[in-house]
Structure 1
């Protein structure tokens, strides 16, 4: 477990900023306790400093997980966010998409969101922007990237893709062996 290098921090924060923008400061500067991001086996963990200090007594080989896993770095140096961070990024998301009940199951099975399944969208969402996908009852289901801006979405046909799937809560079941 170690702090992120300058390049890793830049890559990680650029990816995180696609979803929550400048609200990254709310994750680090919390009133209750000091939190930080740490790297362990190519995965980035969000952990309190008190827990991190206690974890130093555990050997690297024995330490499996620490805190909340925000994602992992690929071998090419890119960062891939995991669904385990959904509760944290949903709190501070700038852009949101609500999908109708008939679109929830296709999304939870890993499919993209089509226009027919859209209930509502945050106004002025640009193209290729990270969004949090909610059910109509405000339950965060996952996150993705917009295929079109909000104004372009209104002109599309019902079968056109509006949000590209990135991760969803169904991954807990589909990929439970690779999340840790």
Structure 2
């Protein structure tokens, strides 16, 4: 594992910033210690510095992963956030949406969110802003990009797409071989 370059850091923090805004600082300097991002084989990991020091004793060839996989870089150099980062970014999310049980299942199958399936929506959500998707029990189930702002959603037709799907916890079953 190696530290991220400046360009890689900008790409990772830029993507995370879409979901949590200025709370990125809280992601690195937490109450339980300092955390950092490391990269190995195009995968970006979020790891405690305490664990990082211990992991340095393991040879690189034998080290598969450590910490939480936040996402990966594509072959074109773009960073793609993965569902494995959901538990870390959900507490700091600026924009949230809660789904009805019928829409929750459709979202977990990889479909976009329609206005008819929305139970609640955060105020001041902007168009194309990163948004965390919750079920009615306040459990984060995925994330996406807002297709409409809060104001546009109020007057929208029930069959209008309000959130474009990016990742959901159903990927743990559908794509388990490619997540890590």
Q: CA deviation at 1:23?
A: 0.4
**Structure 2 unaligned spans of 5+:** none
State the match for 2:62 in structure 1. Answer: 62
Q: CA deviation at 1:10?
A: 0.6
Separation in 1, partners of 2:68, 2:138 = 22
1:1-180 equivalence runs, <5 A: 1-180=1-180
Deviations along 1:63-86, one digit per CA (max 9) or x if unpaired, are: 111100100011111110111111
Deviating above 4 A after TM superposition, structure 1's stretches of 4 or more consecutive aligned residues are none
Separation in 1, partners of 2:32, 2:105 = 37
Q: CA deviation at 1:61?
A: 2.3
**Structure 1 unaligned spans of 5+:** none
Deviations along 1:24-81, one digit per CA (max 9) or x if unpaired, are: 1111111221211111111111111121122122222221111001000111111101
Q: CA deviation at 1:121?
A: 0.5
Query: Match of 1:20, SS?
Result: helix
Query: Match of 1:137, SS?
Result: coil
TM-score, normalised to structure 2's length?
Answer: 0.98
Separation in 2, partners of 1:66, 1:161 = 37
Flag the structure with higher helix content: 2
Separation in 1, partners of 2:29, 2:48 = 11
Separation in 1, partners of 2:73, 2:178 = 13
| Residue-pair matches, total | 180
Query: Match of 1:178, SS?
Result: helix
Deviations along 1:115-151, one digit per CA (max 9) or x if unpaired, are: 0000010011000000000011101010000001110
Separation in 1, partners of 2:177, 2:40 = 17
